[in-house]
Structure 1
Amino acid sequence: MNAPIPILRFFDEELTKHFYCDFLGFTVDWTHRFEEDFPLYMQVSKDKCILHLSEHYGDSSPGAALRIEVGNIETFQKQLLAQQASFARPGLEDGPAGGKECTVTDPAYNRLVFYENKN
Protein backbone atom coordinates (compact mmCIF):
# COMPACT_ATOMS: atom_id res chain seq x y z
CA MET A 1 0.00 0.00 0.00
CA ASN A 2 0.95 3.60 -0.48
CA ALA A 3 0.38 6.45 1.96
CA PRO A 4 -3.22 7.69 2.12
CA ILE A 5 -4.22 11.05 0.69
CA PRO A 6 -6.58 12.83 3.09
CA ILE A 7 -9.52 14.86 1.79
CA LEU A 8 -10.22 18.08 3.71
CA ARG A 9 -13.39 20.11 3.30
CA PHE A 10 -13.21 23.83 2.53
CA PHE A 11 -15.74 26.60 1.89
CA ASP A 12 -13.82 29.61 0.53
CA GLU A 13 -11.51 29.05 -2.44
CA GLU A 14 -9.54 32.29 -2.04
CA LEU A 15 -8.91 31.87 1.70
CA THR A 16 -8.04 28.20 1.27
CA LYS A 17 -5.51 28.84 -1.50
CA HIS A 18 -3.99 31.69 0.52
CA PHE A 19 -3.62 29.47 3.58
CA TYR A 20 -2.21 26.39 1.86
CA CYS A 21 -0.15 28.04 -0.89
CA ASP A 22 0.91 31.44 0.40
CA PHE A 23 1.18 30.63 4.11
CA LEU A 24 2.20 26.95 4.20
CA GLY A 25 4.02 26.82 0.86
CA PHE A 26 1.99 24.13 -0.88
CA THR A 27 1.50 24.12 -4.67
CA VAL A 28 -1.81 23.54 -6.44
CA ASP A 29 -1.14 20.48 -8.61
CA TRP A 30 -4.54 20.38 -10.30
CA THR A 31 -8.14 21.50 -9.94
CA HIS A 32 -11.41 19.96 -11.09
CA ARG A 33 -15.03 21.10 -11.44
CA PHE A 34 -17.73 19.07 -13.18
CA GLU A 35 -19.19 22.33 -14.50
CA GLU A 36 -18.37 26.03 -14.10
CA ASP A 37 -20.56 26.72 -11.05
CA PHE A 38 -19.98 23.36 -9.37
CA PRO A 39 -17.84 22.80 -6.24
CA LEU A 40 -14.07 22.77 -6.62
CA TYR A 41 -11.89 19.74 -5.92
CA MET A 42 -8.13 20.19 -5.96
CA GLN A 43 -4.84 18.61 -5.04
CA VAL A 44 -2.09 20.52 -3.23
CA SER A 45 1.35 19.23 -2.36
CA LYS A 46 4.59 20.15 -0.68
CA ASP A 47 7.54 17.78 -0.79
CA LYS A 48 6.03 14.32 -0.16
CA CYS A 49 2.84 15.63 1.48
CA ILE A 50 -0.25 15.43 -0.75
CA LEU A 51 -3.68 16.72 0.29
CA HIS A 52 -6.99 16.83 -1.52
CA LEU A 53 -9.21 19.81 -0.76
CA SER A 54 -12.90 19.69 -1.60
CA GLU A 55 -15.91 22.00 -1.62
CA HIS A 56 -18.17 18.98 -2.23
CA TYR A 57 -20.71 18.32 0.49
CA GLY A 58 -20.12 14.90 2.00
CA ASP A 59 -16.47 14.50 0.97
CA SER A 60 -15.29 15.29 4.46
CA SER A 61 -16.40 17.09 7.59
CA PRO A 62 -14.84 20.42 8.50
CA GLY A 63 -12.78 20.25 11.66
CA ALA A 64 -10.66 17.23 10.75
CA ALA A 65 -7.17 16.80 12.21
CA LEU A 66 -4.01 15.63 10.42
CA ARG A 67 -0.50 14.91 11.66
CA ILE A 68 2.21 15.78 9.13
CA GLU A 69 5.83 14.93 9.85
CA VAL A 70 8.44 17.56 8.95
CA GLY A 71 12.22 17.37 9.00
CA ASN A 72 12.98 20.35 11.23
CA ILE A 73 9.98 21.59 13.17
CA GLU A 74 11.78 24.58 14.70
CA THR A 75 12.81 25.94 11.30
CA PHE A 76 9.32 25.33 9.90
CA GLN A 77 7.66 27.09 12.84
CA LYS A 78 10.02 30.09 12.49
CA GLN A 79 9.15 30.34 8.78
CA LEU A 80 5.46 30.49 9.64
CA LEU A 81 6.00 33.10 12.37
CA ALA A 82 8.18 35.25 10.08
CA GLN A 83 5.15 35.83 7.86
CA GLN A 84 3.39 37.62 10.74
CA ALA A 85 0.03 36.24 9.58
CA SER A 86 -2.91 37.71 11.46
CA PHE A 87 -4.68 34.32 11.48
CA ALA A 88 -1.87 32.10 12.83
CA ARG A 89 0.94 32.52 15.34
CA PRO A 90 1.79 28.87 16.01
CA GLY A 91 3.94 27.89 18.93
CA LEU A 92 5.97 24.76 19.62
CA GLU A 93 4.68 22.15 22.03
CA ASP A 94 5.91 18.82 23.33
CA GLY A 95 4.54 15.98 21.23
CA PRO A 96 3.38 12.55 22.39
CA ALA A 97 6.40 10.72 20.91
CA GLY A 98 9.06 12.86 22.59
CA GLY A 99 9.45 15.39 19.81
CA LYS A 100 7.94 18.80 19.17
CA GLU A 101 4.84 19.85 17.28
CA CYS A 102 3.31 22.99 15.81
CA THR A 103 -0.43 23.27 15.14
CA VAL A 104 -2.23 25.53 12.66
CA THR A 105 -5.91 25.65 11.76
CA ASP A 106 -7.09 26.26 8.20
CA PRO A 107 -10.07 28.50 7.26
CA ALA A 108 -12.48 25.50 7.51
CA TYR A 109 -11.22 24.66 11.03
CA ASN A 110 -9.18 21.65 9.92
CA ARG A 111 -6.26 21.22 12.30
CA LEU A 112 -2.83 20.48 10.82
CA VAL A 113 -0.35 19.26 13.42
CA PHE A 114 3.17 19.44 12.04
CA TYR A 115 5.59 17.37 14.09
CA GLU A 116 9.12 16.11 14.38
CA ASN A 117 9.87 12.93 16.30
CA LYS A 118 13.11 12.71 18.25
CA ASN A 119 13.13 8.90 18.25
Structure 2
Amino acid sequence: MSLGRTMPILRMFDIAKAREFYVDFLGFEVAWEHRFAPDLPLYMAVQRDSVELHLSEHHGDATPGSAVRIAVTEIEALHADLLSKNYGFMRPGLETQPWGLREVAVTDPFGNRLIFFEPASV
Protein backbone atom coordinates (compact mmCIF):
# COMPACT_ATOMS: atom_id res chain seq x y z
CA MET A 1 0.00 0.00 0.00
CA SER A 2 1.12 3.55 -0.65
CA LEU A 3 -0.46 6.97 -0.48
CA GLY A 4 -0.51 9.34 -3.43
CA ARG A 5 -0.33 13.11 -3.84
CA THR A 6 -2.45 15.43 -1.73
CA MET A 7 -4.78 17.88 -3.47
CA PRO A 8 -6.25 20.34 -0.97
CA ILE A 9 -9.60 21.98 -1.73
CA LEU A 10 -9.70 25.72 -1.03
CA ARG A 11 -12.86 27.82 -1.06
CA MET A 12 -13.12 30.72 -3.51
CA PHE A 13 -15.80 33.33 -4.06
CA ASP A 14 -14.66 35.27 -7.13
CA ILE A 15 -13.25 33.53 -10.21
CA ALA A 16 -11.47 36.60 -11.58
CA LYS A 17 -9.75 37.24 -8.22
CA ALA A 18 -8.81 33.57 -7.94
CA ARG A 19 -7.18 33.63 -11.39
CA GLU A 20 -5.41 36.91 -10.63
CA PHE A 21 -3.95 35.47 -7.42
CA TYR A 22 -3.21 31.85 -8.31
CA VAL A 23 -2.31 32.22 -12.01
CA ASP A 24 -0.98 35.76 -12.43
CA PHE A 25 0.68 36.18 -9.02
CA LEU A 26 1.66 32.67 -7.88
CA GLY A 27 2.39 31.27 -11.35
CA PHE A 28 0.01 28.31 -11.29
CA GLU A 29 -1.74 27.18 -14.47
CA VAL A 30 -5.38 26.18 -14.72
CA ALA A 31 -5.29 22.39 -15.11
CA TRP A 32 -9.05 21.94 -15.60
CA GLU A 33 -12.45 23.41 -14.77
CA HIS A 34 -15.85 21.82 -14.12
CA ARG A 35 -19.42 23.04 -13.72
CA PHE A 36 -22.48 20.81 -13.58
CA ALA A 37 -24.31 23.51 -15.56
CA PRO A 38 -23.37 26.99 -16.85
CA ASP A 39 -25.15 28.74 -13.97
CA LEU A 40 -23.72 26.52 -11.20
CA PRO A 41 -20.55 27.04 -9.11
CA LEU A 42 -17.10 26.45 -10.60
CA TYR A 43 -14.73 23.73 -9.38
CA MET A 44 -11.25 24.06 -10.83
CA ALA A 45 -7.71 22.80 -10.38
CA VAL A 46 -4.56 24.88 -10.60
CA GLN A 47 -1.13 23.33 -10.89
CA ARG A 48 2.48 24.41 -10.60
CA ASP A 49 5.15 21.75 -10.86
CA SER A 50 3.87 18.82 -8.76
CA VAL A 51 1.52 20.92 -6.62
CA GLU A 52 -2.18 20.75 -7.50
CA LEU A 53 -4.74 22.81 -5.63
CA HIS A 54 -8.49 22.54 -6.11
CA LEU A 55 -10.49 25.76 -5.88
CA SER A 56 -14.22 25.56 -5.36
CA GLU A 57 -17.17 27.94 -5.35
CA HIS A 58 -19.35 25.14 -3.94
CA HIS A 59 -20.69 26.02 -0.49
CA GLY A 60 -19.91 22.73 1.25
CA ASP A 61 -16.55 21.90 -0.29
CA ALA A 62 -14.18 23.80 1.95
CA THR A 63 -13.92 26.36 4.71
CA PRO A 64 -12.48 29.82 4.03
CA GLY A 65 -9.39 30.49 6.11
CA SER A 66 -7.68 27.15 5.53
CA ALA A 67 -3.90 26.80 5.47
CA VAL A 68 -1.70 24.70 3.19
CA ARG A 69 2.05 24.12 3.56
CA ILE A 70 3.97 23.59 0.32
CA ALA A 71 7.60 22.42 0.27
CA VAL A 72 9.82 24.23 -2.23
CA THR A 73 13.44 24.27 -3.26
CA GLU A 74 15.26 27.58 -3.75
CA ILE A 75 12.86 29.60 -1.66
CA GLU A 76 14.84 32.78 -2.40
CA ALA A 77 13.98 32.37 -6.10
CA LEU A 78 10.28 31.94 -5.29
CA HIS A 79 10.37 35.00 -3.05
CA ALA A 80 12.12 37.12 -5.71
CA ASP A 81 9.64 35.91 -8.36
CA LEU A 82 6.65 36.90 -6.24
CA LEU A 83 8.08 40.34 -5.46
CA SER A 84 8.82 40.93 -9.15
CA LYS A 85 5.11 40.55 -9.96
CA ASN A 86 4.31 43.83 -8.15
CA TYR A 87 1.01 42.33 -7.01
CA GLY A 88 -0.98 45.24 -5.62
CA PHE A 89 -2.35 43.37 -2.61
CA MET A 90 0.70 41.67 -1.15
CA ARG A 91 4.45 41.91 -0.74
CA PRO A 92 5.35 38.71 1.11
CA GLY A 93 8.44 38.47 3.24
CA LEU A 94 10.99 35.68 3.53
CA GLU A 95 11.12 34.68 7.18
CA THR A 96 13.22 32.25 9.16
CA GLN A 97 11.17 30.51 11.82
CA PRO A 98 12.58 29.78 15.29
CA TRP A 99 12.79 26.09 14.34
CA GLY A 100 15.03 26.95 11.37
CA LEU A 101 12.71 26.66 8.34
CA ARG A 102 12.53 29.55 5.92
CA GLU A 103 9.02 30.45 4.77
CA VAL A 104 7.12 32.72 2.41
CA ALA A 105 3.48 33.02 3.49
CA VAL A 106 0.71 34.48 1.34
CA THR A 107 -3.01 34.84 1.90
CA ASP A 108 -5.41 34.52 -1.01
CA PRO A 109 -8.36 36.90 -1.51
CA PHE A 110 -10.61 34.41 0.32
CA GLY A 111 -8.60 34.13 3.55
CA ASN A 112 -6.75 30.90 2.71
CA ARG A 113 -3.06 30.86 3.64
CA LEU A 114 -0.37 29.20 1.55
CA ILE A 115 2.91 28.74 3.38
CA PHE A 116 5.80 27.90 1.09
CA PHE A 117 8.73 26.48 3.04
CA GLU A 118 12.15 25.11 2.32
CA PRO A 119 12.76 22.01 4.43
CA ALA A 120 16.21 20.79 5.36
CA SER A 121 15.90 18.34 2.42
CA VAL A 122 13.09 18.34 -0.17
Task: Pick the TM interval, shorter chain.
Answer: over 0.9
Please state how far the C-alpha of 1:58 moved relative to its aligned partner: 0.9
- Provide structure 2 residue ranges, at least 5 long, that are not aligned to the other structure: none
Give the AA of the match of 1:11: F
Instruction: Classify the secondary structure of the residue corresponding to 1:118.
Output: coil
- Provide structure 1 residue ranges, at least 5 long, that are not aligned to the other structure: none
Please state how far the C-alpha of 1:96 moved relative to its aligned partner: 5.7
Given that residues 97 and 117 in structure 1 are in contact (C-alpha distance below 8 angstroms), is that contact kept between their aligned partners in structure 2? no
Please state how far the C-alpha of 1:97 moved relative to its aligned partner: 4.7
Please state how far the C-alpha of 1:98 moved relative to its aligned partner: 1.8
For residues 61 and 31 of structure 1, the distance between their equivalents in structure 2, rounded to whole angstroms, comes to 20
State the match for 1:110 in structure 2.
112
State the match for 2:57 in structure 1.
55
For residues 38 and 103 of structure 1, the distance between their equivalents in structure 2, rounded to whole angstroms, comes to 32
State the match for 1:84 in structure 2.
86
Residues 80 and 35 (structure 1 numbering): CA distance in 2 closer, same or farther, change over 3 Å? same
Q: Normalising by structure 1, what TM-score?
A: 0.95
Mean CA deviation greater in 88-97 or 40-49: 88-97
Identity in percent: 51
Given that residues 31 and 41 in structure 1 are in contact (C-alpha distance below 8 angstroms), is that contact kept between their aligned partners in structure 2? yes
State the match for 1:7 in structure 2.
9
For residues 73 and 97 of structure 2, the distance between their equivalents in structure 1, rounded to whole angstroms, comes to 15
Q: Normalising by structure 2, what TM-score?
A: 0.93
Given that residues 97 and 118 in structure 1 are in contact (C-alpha distance below 8 angstroms), is that contact kept between their aligned partners in structure 2? no
Residues 55 and 62 (structure 1 numbering): CA distance in 2 closer, same or farther, change over 3 Å? same
After superposition, residues 10-89 of structure 1 pair within 5 angstroms as: 10-89=12-91
Please state how far the C-alpha of 1:76 moved relative to its aligned partner: 0.4
Given that residues 40 and 56 in structure 1 are in contact (C-alpha distance below 8 angstroms), is that contact kept between their aligned partners in structure 2? yes
Which stretches of structure 1, 4 residues or longer, exceed 3 Å deviation after superposition? Answer: none
Give the AA of the match of 1:88: M
Give the AA of the match of 1:111: R
Instruction: Classify the secondary structure of the residue corresponding to 2:104.
Output: strand
Instruction: Classify the secondary structure of the residue corresponding to 1:79.
Output: helix
Aligned length: 119
